[in-house]
């Protein structure tokens, strides 16, 4: 859920000469049930500030950030109930004022990436690892990824960051196009400000697609390969133990600052196509 509440009028600069202090307590609460269950509730609060070049914000301005993680769990049980709240204020604005934005999402942790992004760990069940990526400047959601966020630059001479992720649609996917049984995953290429390209990977064999899409039966990794021939994003789908080791590899070249789907290298039966949500 995304909540936007501006605390500074457009064009109005915060008063950097006026001091303020903000303090929010972290806590832990323990309780033991009659049947032996042990319950733990934890609230952790952290503060940070950004650099002075946050995408989408005025040049030279910084943000004050507050991250609140609230979790509840039964000791010994699998899974956890947890939410992460990310809030931002222009640096210099008293944090008692309404934040520039507030994002509240189920998750166990949130960290910043390069001063550009929020990376929220959504791995609540303890089995499936995945992350949601948000803009630090506005709190807007960019994409989800079921592999570790891939970070690289446009070129060695250009330090501008690029990010890539792999979304594997869950059973309760809302987009009807991604509920098609042939769908395997969606590769996303993004800057810190916008999604630049999405590539839909499908399989003609429905059973193959189901296996590659499975959270329990398949492990996924994504890497950036660089050679004299250029760059390519390599996605490996590995059959999980106890299945015999077998890897399905999809490679999609990059041309300049984009993904070249026309030269994608895929096993027989798999297909890559430009996609847009």
**Res. 25: pLDDT tops 90:** no
Same domain, yes or no, for 197 and 119?
Answer: no
Q: Residue 30 has what pLDDT?
A: 86
Cα–Cα distance, 153 to 160 (Å, whole number): 5
**Res. 269: pLDDT tops 80:** yes
Chain segment 129-141, per-residue pLDDT in tens: 999 999 999 999 9
Same domain, yes or no, for 89 and 18?
Answer: yes
**Res. 78: pLDDT tops 90:** no
Look at residues 109, 141, 173 and tell me which one is the last residue of a structural domain. 141
**Model pTM score:** 0.89
Same domain, yes or no, for 197 and 137?
Answer: no
Look at residues 102, 119, 141 and tell me which one is the last residue of a structural domain. 141
Same domain, yes or no, for 73 and 158?
Answer: no
Quote the domain boundaries for residue 24.
1-141
Q: Residue 166 has what pLDDT?
A: 98
**pLDDT, mean over the chain:** 90
Same domain, yes or no, for 135 and 14?
Answer: yes
Q: How confident is the model at residue 116 (pLDDT cuts 50, 70, 90)?
A: very high
Same domain, yes or no, for 121 and 206?
Answer: no
Which of 87-91, 156-160, 230-234, 241-245 is predicted with the least confidence, judged by mean pLDDT?
Answer: 156-160
Q: Residue 241 has what pLDDT?
A: 87
Same domain, yes or no, for 4 and 131?
Answer: yes
Same domain, yes or no, for 10 and 85?
Answer: yes
Query: Is the Cβ–Cβ distance between 181 and 210 less than 8 Å?
Result: yes
Question: Contacts for 251-254 with beta carbons within 8 Å, 24 or more apart?
Answer: 251/225, 252/187, 252/199, 254/230
**Res. 75: pLDDT tops 70:** yes
Q: How confident is the model at residue 244 (pLDDT cuts 50, 70, 90)?
A: confident
Same domain, yes or no, for 173 and 130?
Answer: no
Same domain, yes or no, for 168 and 248?
Answer: yes
Same domain, yes or no, for 184 and 91?
Answer: no
**Res. 9: pLDDT tops 50:** no
Same domain, yes or no, for 133 and 152?
Answer: no
Q: How many domains does the chain have?
A: 2
**Res. 8: pLDDT tops 50:** no
SS3 annotation, the chain: CEEECCCCCCCCCCCCCCCCCCCCCCEEEEEECCCCCEEEEEEEEEEEECCCCCCCCCCCCCEEEEEEEEEEEECCCCCCEEEEEEEEEECCCCCCCCCCEEEEEECCEEEEECCCEEEEECCCCCCCCCEEEEECCCCCEEEEECCCCEEEECCCCCCCEEEEEEECCCCCCCCHHHHCCCEEEEEEEECCCCEEEEEEEEECCHHHHHHHHCCCCEEEEEEEEEECCEEEEEEEEEECCCCCCCEEEEEEEEECCEECHHHCECCCCEEEEEECC
Look at residues 88, 116, 141 and tell me which one is the last residue of a structural domain. 141
């Amino acid at each position: 859920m995304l909540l936007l509440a501006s605390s500074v009028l457009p064009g109005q600069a915060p008063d950097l000469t006026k001091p303020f202090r903000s303090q929010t307590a972290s806590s832990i609460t323990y309780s033991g049930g009659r049947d032996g269950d042990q319950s733990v509730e934890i609230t952790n609060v952290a503060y940070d500030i950004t650099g002075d070049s946050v995408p989408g914000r005025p040049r030279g301005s910084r943000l004050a950030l507050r991250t609140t993680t609230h979790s509840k769990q039964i000791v010994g049980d699998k899974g956890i109930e947890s939410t992460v709240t990310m809030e931002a204020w222009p640096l210099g604005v008293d944090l008692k004022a309404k934040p520039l934005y507030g994002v509240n999402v189920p998750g166990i942790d949130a960290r910043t990436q390069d001063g550009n992004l929020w990376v929220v760990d959504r791995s609540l069940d303890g089995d499936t690892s995945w992350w949601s990526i948000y803009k630090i400047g506005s709190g807007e959601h960019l994409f989800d990824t079921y592999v570790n966020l891939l970070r690289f630059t446009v070129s060695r001479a250009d330090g501008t960051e690029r990010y890539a992720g792999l979304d594997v649609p869950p059973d309760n996917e809302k987009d009807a196009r991604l509920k098609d049984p042939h769908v395997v995953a969606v590769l996303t290429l993004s800057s810190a400000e916008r999604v630049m390209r999405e590539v839909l990977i499908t399989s003609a064999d429905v059973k193959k697609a189901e296996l590659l899409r499975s959270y329990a039966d398949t492990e996924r990794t994504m890497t950036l390969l660089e050679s004299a021939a250029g760059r390519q994003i390599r996605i490996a789908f590995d059959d999980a133990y106890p299945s015999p080791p077998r890897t399905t590899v999809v490679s999609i070249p990059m041309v300049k600052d984009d993904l070249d789907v026309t030269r994608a290298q895929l096993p027989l039966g798999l297909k890559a196509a430009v996609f847009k949500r």
